[in-house]
Amino acid sequence: TVNVNNLNALSDLHKKPDANFTYGTAGFRMKAELLDSVIFRTGILAALRSKKLDGKVIGCMITASHNPAEDNGVKLVDPMGEMLEGSWEAHATALSNAESNEHLIDYIHSMVSSLKIDLTKPANVVFGRDTRPSGESLVAALADGLKVLDATVTDYGILTTPQLHYITRCLNTAGTPEAYGEPTAEGYYKKLAAAFKVLVEGKTKLSALTLDCANGVGAPKFKEFLPHLDDALSVKIVNDDVDNPSKLNLNSGADFVKTQQRGPIGLKMAPQERYASFDGDADRLVYYYQDDDNTFKLLDGDKIAGLAAMYIIDLVKAAGIDSISVGVVQTAYANGASTQYLRNSLNVPVSCVSTGVKHLHHEALKYDVGVYFEANGHGTVLFSPSALKTIHSTEGSNPAQAVAARSLRALSEVINQTVGDAFSDLLLVETILTQRQWTPKVWDQAYTDLPNRLVKVVVKDRSIFKTVDAERKLVEPAGIQDAIDAIVLKFRDGRSFVRPSGTEDVVRVYAEAATRPETDELAYRIGGLVF
Ligand code: NG1
Ligand code: ZN
């Protein structure tokens, strides 16, 4: 059983405030001052998870991503670098809400017996954090939680979220045929850089990319990374001020650019140049440029997915291995024009799943090569074991096939297989643009986005909103969906859906239609149904 005295003493240092917590799609996330007890208990959970999995290494990332500087959060990473298994989210929530040390111990014991956790097994946990100042004391709370069950821990300091996912997978696969790389930031840089150099070898280098790091962890980490590229890529970093914590994500970063549909404040854009933004923990990426008539053009997660799918389909054909199935996974927030492009121009199967990366990741595993992106720029490409086997065993029967097969191998190395990764995705996009010698405008010409509008509606109780069909239909409150359908019918290319947010206390209304005025009117009318 658990050493109760030890737990009491440690838990008394991290008393639960009067609040209710939920481990949601983004883990726990809130004002940092509320998080101390939550993170302490997440440490206990991480150790239990490791023991349950026979001592496999569990990752723990302290970050609040694109949220304001005063927020923070925590997410657990399972052994292969994926998100915490869904069924454990409820345990995370229950532990965080236990009202007393006694309740906490009772819950731990109930987990131990119902999940058959052998407490004599070792627990191994690694953790990292973003640049938020609150991270330091929260790491101490986490370390205390890990002491409760005598976990062996390694503090990796400041990292991007995808780096921690990568390291977790490396540690758990070391010495096996699935070995993923050296379990350090340095190892990560080396792996990505080596693959990228193969992909752009012999091609004319593009003009410099301007990269907005949202004044977050992406800035120091991308600066560490650049020398590994040996000048294969020119990047000009902006918004790299991590010494002024209040600037984090402020008027900058991928979320700002995507939701505001404009460049970060203070960035002077020149026509036809390439720009990109990371979010605050460098797992999201969006690109953008300014057209000749000075209009702002966004190349979001949907555009990245389209570009990646197009390129991979071509490579697979060029390598003579088009038995490999390529599929794309989106959510309902994907622009309708992107879905049309994928289905009708690329002839690639497209699935739609609920919001949240774990759903996309899960669905993408069904394809030999599964491309998944949320419109907000979070996504990656997964290569199945059988696809990897084919790619590695293909030599090609002529030089062109051999080159394509080599590119596919390098692509599977440059792309982070654990989670959406802004560094990896940036290298993926730069690879394709370099290979094709494309400007952002040429990339953008694949299809034209339908005008769209995303609105937040504050309601009394968002829990009464229940959806089905990958969140595209409301079943409760009764009657609203019929009203939505009736309105949508009146709009050309109209599409709209309503769902409760998993991360904010709001209901989101999404609308798209043939023109901007029609889209705005559609969003307004649907919003009126919910309000
Ligand atoms: P919610 O708040 O459930 O809509 C948001 C994003 C998701 C995902 C999560 C996790 C939109 C519309 N929603 O979810 O895509 O990124 O946050 O961070 O962008
Ligand atoms: Zn993020």
Instruction: Give yes or no for residue 1 having a pLDDT over 90.
Output: no
**Would you give the DSSP letter of residue 268?**
P
Please compute the mean of the pLDDT values over residues 222-246 and round it to a whole number.
Answer: 97
How far apart (Å, rounded) are the C-alpha atoms in residues 160 and 131? 9
pTM of the predicted model, to two decimals?
0.97
For ligand 1, atom 8, the nearest C-alpha belongs to 356
Residue numbers annotated as active site? 65
Q: How far, in Å, CA of 29 to CA of 504, rounded? A: 10
Whether 4-158 shares its CATH topology with 452-530 is answered no
Residues in the chain: 531
User: Which whole number is the average pLDDT over 222-243?
Assistant: 97
Whether the predicted pLDDT of 5 surpasses 90? yes
If you average pLDDT over residues 49-60, what whole number do you get? 98
Arithmetic mean of pLDDT, 307-332: 97
Percent of the chain with pLDDT over 90: 97
* Closest ligand, as measured to the CA of 280: 2
- Average pLDDT, stretch 17-33? 94
| pLDDT for the residue numbered 25 | 85
Tens-digit pLDDT profile for residues 114-134: 999 999 999 999 999 999 999
Query: What does the DSSP 8-state code read for residue 27?
Result: B
For residue range 493-510, what is the model confidence (pLDDT) as tens digits? 999 999 999 888 899 999
Ligand 1, closest atom to CA 333? 12
Residues of the binding site for Mg(2+): 65, 279, 281, 283
Residue extents of the structural domains in the chain = 4-158, 187-298, 301-444, 452-530
Query: Where are the alpha helices (H) located in 226-372, listed in sequence order?
Result: 253-260, 301-318, 336-340, 357-364
State in Å: Cα 279 to ligand 2 middle: 5
Count how many Cα atoms sit within 13 Å of the Cα of residue 338 in the half-sphere of its side chain. 32
Residue carrying structure tokens 């001592």: 55
The beta-carbon contacts of 494-498 under 8 Å, at least 24 apart in sequence, are 494/518, 494/522, 495/336, 496/522, 496/523, 496/526, 497/332, 497/467, 497/471, 497/472, 497/473, 498/465, 498/467, 498/474, 498/526, 498/529, 498/530
pLDDT tens digits, one per residue of 400-411 = 999 999 999 999
Q: Which of 75, 353, 355 to mutate to test the pocket of ligand 1 (most atoms within 8 A of CB)?
A: 355
Assess if CATH 3.40.120.10 describes domain 187-298: yes
Instruction: Using the predicted structure, report yes or no on whether residue 447 has a pLDDT greater than 90.
Output: yes
What pLDDT is recorded for position 420?
A: 97
What average pLDDT does this structure show over 347-366? 96
Distance 108 CA to ligand 2 centre (A): 30
Query: In testing the pocket of ligand 1, which one of 25, 331, 378 has its CB within 8 Å of the most ligand atoms?
Result: 25
Tell me the C-alpha distance between 338 and 471, whole Å: 18
CA of 502 to the centre of ligand 1 (A): 7
Which residue puts its alpha carbon closest to atom 4 of ligand 1? Answer: 501
Q: Which residues line ligand 1 (CB under 6 A)?
A: 25-26, 333, 355, 374, 376, 378, 501-504, 508
User: pLDDT-derived band of residue 315, with 50, 70 and 90 as boundaries?
Assistant: very high
Average pLDDT of the chain is: 97
Q: Options 3.40.50.1820, 3.30.310.50, 1.10.10.60, 3.10.20.30; which CATH number does 452-530 get?
A: 3.30.310.50
pLDDT at 531: 84
Specify the CATH number of the domain 301-444.
3.40.120.10
pLDDT tens digit sequence for 475-497: 999 999 999 999 999 999 999 99
CB 331 within 8 A of CB 467: no
Q: Identify the CATH homologous superfamily for domain 4-158.
A: Alpha-D-Glucose-1,6-Bisphosphate, subunit A, domain 3 (3.40.120.10)
Q: Which DSSP symbol is given to 205?
A: P
Cα of 374 from ligand 1 centre, angstroms:
9
Nearest to 422 by CA among 167, 226, 194, 162: 162
What is d(CA 376, CA 283) in angstroms, rounded to the nearest whole number? Answer: 11
pLDDT score of 60: 98
Per-residue model confidence (pLDDT) at position 504: 85
Residue 511's φ and ψ, nearest 5 degrees, are -140, 145
In the reported structure, the alpha carbon of residue 479 is separated from the centroid of ligand 2 by a whole-number distance in angstroms of 36
Burial readout 267-297 (b: 16 or more C-beta within 10 A, e: otherwise): bebeeebbbbbbbbbbbbbbbbbbeeeeeeb
Is the predicted pLDDT of residue 290 greater than 90, yes or no? yes
Q: Which residues are annotated as a binding site?
A: 65, 279, 281, 283, 374-376, 499-503, 508
Euclidean distance between CA atoms 135 and 329, whole angstroms: 33
- pLDDT (mean) for 186-202: 98
Task: Identify the residue whose C-alpha is closest to ligand 1 atom 3.
Answer: 502
Over 90: is that where the pLDDT of 396 sits?
no
Residues 145-165 have pLDDT tens digits of 999 999 999 999 999 999 999
Ligand 2 ion: Cβ-proximal residues, 5 Å cutoff? 65, 279, 281, 283
pLDDT of residue 502: 87
Nearest-CA residue for ligand 1 atom 18 is 26
Statement: residue 522 has pLDDT above 90: yes
